[in-house]
Amino acid sequence: MNPNDLQIAEIWVYLSGSPLFALILTLTAYQVGSFFYQKTERNPLANPVAIAVILVAIALYLLDMPYQKYFEGAQFVHFLLGTATVSLAIPIYRGVAALKARVFPLLIALLCGGVVSIVSAVGVATFLGADSAIIGAFYPKSVTAPIAMGVAERLGVSPTLTAVFAVITGIIGAILGSHILNLLGMKQWWQRGFAIGVAAHGIGTSRAFAVHPEAGTYASLAMGLHGILGALLIPLLKNYI
Amino acid sequence: MIPGLVQILLWQGLGELISHFFLPIIPGPVIGLVFLLIFLIIKGHVNPSLTLVSDAFSQHLGVLFIPAAVGVILFLPQLKANAFAVIAALLVSVVATIVVTAVVLRFISKKDSS
């Protein structure tokens, strides 16, 4: 090894050991993901989180860096999940006027949708013989990811699988949502938005905002309320069914 | 922005304490969320600093779950072995949730207005 190589190796050892590297990697990957998302005019398939996860995974593979080491550095980002969860109170508060106008139908629909989202996913996965670790992550996956991961941790379910399933759920909902609602002949924007928000949390909500502001408001409200309901409902269903 | 962030962190801290001592089944941040929501409803308005923090979080919420989601590389063999069940469960669940929520909503609000 010549002295130059040695120096580069030393720099690499220093950088890869500090949280800076994991933070730069995470944020750069997200930046690239957001770039593609904007370029494709916010196509749900070009989801910035999905792109970022794939890019970071490839980078770790090429650099031969163990996941645990990456996570140690990136946990500063991870920590903010709890803080972001608390801040969801503000979008829910903005939707309170919308909720007050139709509190009864919205809450009943939310409860039905919330129960169906869990029972259908867990039911199909169990019927098809999936592993128990995977089935466990299907309980919280329809709730907005920061809350879903918090619930998963409490239930001893993998937050990783929960986050991945939650993102895929959001993408599927954002792609199929409008078609399903058209087939059902749903005409009211508030009903369409609310259904998307219950089923496809944040990713569905940003899709709803792109289609119509009223749909977006109700989707955002549905996502927040489903988060609170999920934190109560998921442990109940998981432990007693 | 700082006063808003401090306020959110304090609600989070209170939520974590209550979760730890009284309600271990519910994550602390969710309890903090409910407290903050009740506080805002009583107060009747949101101050700009809080709005700033909340908007920053909600615009880039996705970035926060990248570190955990990258862990999927450890589950790839398991996911491959269960690929069909996973895809089927996710598809069925999303479609069923949208259909049930939408149909229930339309049914009840029709009854309500008639």
Q: How confident is the model over B4-52, as pLDDT tens digits?
A: 999 999 999 999 999 999 998 899 999 999 999 999 999 999 999 999 9
A167 pLDDT higher than 60: yes
Whether residues B111 and B57 fall in one domain: no
Separation CA B67–CA A26 (nearest Å): 7
Whether residues B56 and B105 fall in one domain: no
Q: In the prediction, which pLDDT does B101 show?
A: 97
Whether residues B86 and B33 fall in one domain: no
Is the CB of residue A181 less than 8 Å away from at least one CB of chain B? yes
Nearest CA among A89, A137, A106 for reference residue A218: A106
Residue numbers of the domain that contains B16: 1-64
Q: Do B69 and A168 touch (CB under 8 A)?
A: no
Q: In the prediction, which pLDDT does B98 show?
A: 97
Whether residues B40 and B75 fall in one domain: no
Per-residue pLDDT tens over the stretch A48-67: 999 999 999 999 999 999 99
Whether residues B75 and B59 fall in one domain: no
Could you give the 3-state DSSP secondary structure of residue A134?
Answer: helix
A78 pLDDT higher than 60: yes
Q: Which of residues 85-124 of A touch B (CB under 8 A)?
A: 85-94, 96, 102, 104-106, 108-110, 112-113, 116-117, 120-122, 124
Q: In the prediction, which pLDDT does A12 show?
A: 75
Per-residue pLDDT tens over the stretch B77-101: 999 999 999 999 999 999 999 999 9
Whether residues B74 and B26 fall in one domain: no
Rg (CA), chain B: 20
- Structure confidence at residue A13 as a pLDDT band (50, 70, 90): confident
Domain closes at, from B64, B82, B97: B64
How many domains does one find in chain B?
2
Phi-psi group of A193: left, alpha or beta (phi > 0 → left; psi -120 to 50 → alpha; rest → beta): alpha
Tell me the average pLDDT of chain A.
92
Whether residues B60 and B71 fall in one domain: no
Whether residues B1 and B53 fall in one domain: yes
Whether residues B71 and B55 fall in one domain: no
- For B48-66, b/e burial (b = at least 16 CB within 10 A) is ebbebbbeebbeebbbbbb
Whether residues B53 and B109 fall in one domain: no
B114 pLDDT higher than 60: no
Whether residues B39 and B75 fall in one domain: no
End-to-end Cα, chain A, rounded Å:
62
